[in-house]
Structure 1
Amino acid sequence: MLEPNGPLPPEIYWRRRALAIGGAVVVIGLVVWLVVSLTGGGSSDTQSAAASASLAPSAATTYRPDASATGSNQGSGGSGGGGGGAAANDDASSSGTTTTTTTSSTPVPPGQCPDSSLAVRATPDQPSYPAGQEPGFTVVVTNIGTTACERDLGSGLQQVLVYTLEGRRLWSNTDCFPAGAADLRTLRPGEQAPFTVKWSGTTSEPGCTAPREPVGAGAYSVVGQLGQLRSAPEPFNLT
């Protein structure tokens, strides 16, 4: 049966058989490829989606170079070992009042302006300070909400912090003077509440237990904080 029979030469029949077999192989290969594509495509898409989900970035974090910056709730700070008055060198509040000892990590009391309704900005009074001059900082709290609300703006909650550009905490106005009274104010939409602080140019730590060392010339940044709400860092120089 394998030997071709017919009026034509045998090689012609062999060529026809070879072409028929080759065509059958191609058809079978296409069928196998389609089956594999249809059954394997779904799982690869699922795996690809899962891989993409695992690479999704986490929520952005706020500028927090030193966790201890949010753990202090003391009142206004001063240079050296001075008293706790509002006129101390490291803390001269524009309102002239001292503030509560509530820690900066304490949640906002019910009924007061939430952090989402406020904005805080801290700026140095000038870009550069020569040796011997005490840097001054202005912190402005703004009601960015649509309704008037009350908020305790005591200086124990209104912190001013100085950092190196690498993020190392050097000083806070609340480190050495924990005593104070509340300063509850009503802020209308768009209303601003500014206050100022002087820095003696020395280091400090929460509780004011470590020696206060002079800070040398260089570039630094100042950050304002109200409770858990922090401002962006603003650079300044000591020359």
Structure 2
Amino acid sequence: MKLTVGPLPAGVYWRRRAIIGGALLIVVLLLWTQCSGPDPKRTPSSAKTPAAPVSADPTPTLQTPTTGDPVAPTSAASSASSAPVVTSTVPVCADADLSLAASPEMPVQFRGAYLKFTLKIKNISSRDCTRDLGADFQELYLQVGALKMWSSDHCDAPHGSQPTTLKPSIEVSFSTNWNGKASNNGCVNREIPPAGKYELVGRLDTKFSAPVQVQLT
């Protein structure tokens, strides 16, 4: 069977076919080489692989400053807690800013019987002021003339400090129970005072109340 078509000799057509076939073979080989070879785009990513362990190194570095961090909050909290002590601007109550009133629960009582005494302290000024109302500055006592027959400061006296801010017209009161016995001769073997009229006086440091009569029968 004749496989060539044309006026030229058959050898010419076979050479042309051989050249075309060789060219196609070269093209196929080039394509195969590019497709099967290593992907140059992946090379940088493989080069970055060793960097992964390095990213874990900052972990101990971040832990180092945390050991010293608690020091700063401690000092800040310390300074904050001390601030309110220094920043008070409320003036101290002068004696003229206060009124004191002492009163017995009953104006007449039997000798040797318990009797409740009360001291009332009131801010009569037009401003807020502060005063220590603690037991160290308070006293209630019974007197006859210049003799202090009994005092809340004589036997088993309470102690303490109580700085208090008083607003205008605000009144506070403190009470104590008298056991009906004198304390001017000491706290052992105390005697019952004789019947008669006595004066109850209240004191807050250097401020005194007006005397109030208490009668023992």
Rounded Cα–Cα distance in structure 2 between residues aligned with 1:178 and 1:200: 13
| Structure richer in helix, relative to its length | 2
Distance in 1 of aligned mates of 2:112 and 2:158: 28
Aligned counterpart, 1:227: 205
Q: What are the superposed Cα offsets for residues 194-234 of structure 1, whole Å, 9 maximum, x if unpaired?
A: 1111111222249x467522112111110000001001110
Give me the identity figure in percent: 31
Using the size of structure 2 for normalisation, the TM-score is 0.54
Equivalent residues in 2 for 1:64-213, closer than 5 Å: 111-164=91-144, 166-178=145-157, 180-205=159-184, 208=186, 211-213=189-191
Kept in 2, the 8 Å contact 1:204–1:211? The answer is: no
Gaps of 5+ in 1: 1-109
CA distance in 1, matches of 2:100, 2:211: 11
Runs of 4+ residues deviating >4 angstroms: 208-211
CA distance in 2, matches of 1:161, 1:130: 18
CA distance in 1, matches of 2:91, 2:189: 40
Q: Matched residue pairs, number?
A: 128
Structure 2 unaligned runs (5+)?
Answer: 1-89
Deviations 1:9-64 (A, max 9, x none): xxxxxxxxxxxxxxxxxxxxxxxxxxxxxxxxxxxxxxxxxxxxxxxxxxxxxxxx
Q: Is the 8 A contact 1:143 1:190 kept in 2?
A: yes
User: Are the counterparts in 2 of residues 224 and 231 from structure 1 also a CA contact under 8 Å?
Assistant: yes
CA contact (8 A) 2:111 2:193 kept: no
CA distance in 2, matches of 1:171, 1:215: 9
Letter in 1 for 2:166: L
* 1:156 alignment partner, SS class: helix
Provide the alpha-carbon RMSD of the alignment. 2.1
TM-score normalised to structure 1 length:
0.49
Rounded Cα–Cα distance in structure 1 between residues aligned with 2:184 and 2:147: 12
In structure 2, the partner of 1:214 is 192
TM-superposed deviation, 1:139 = 0.8
1:156 to partner: Cα distance: 2.2
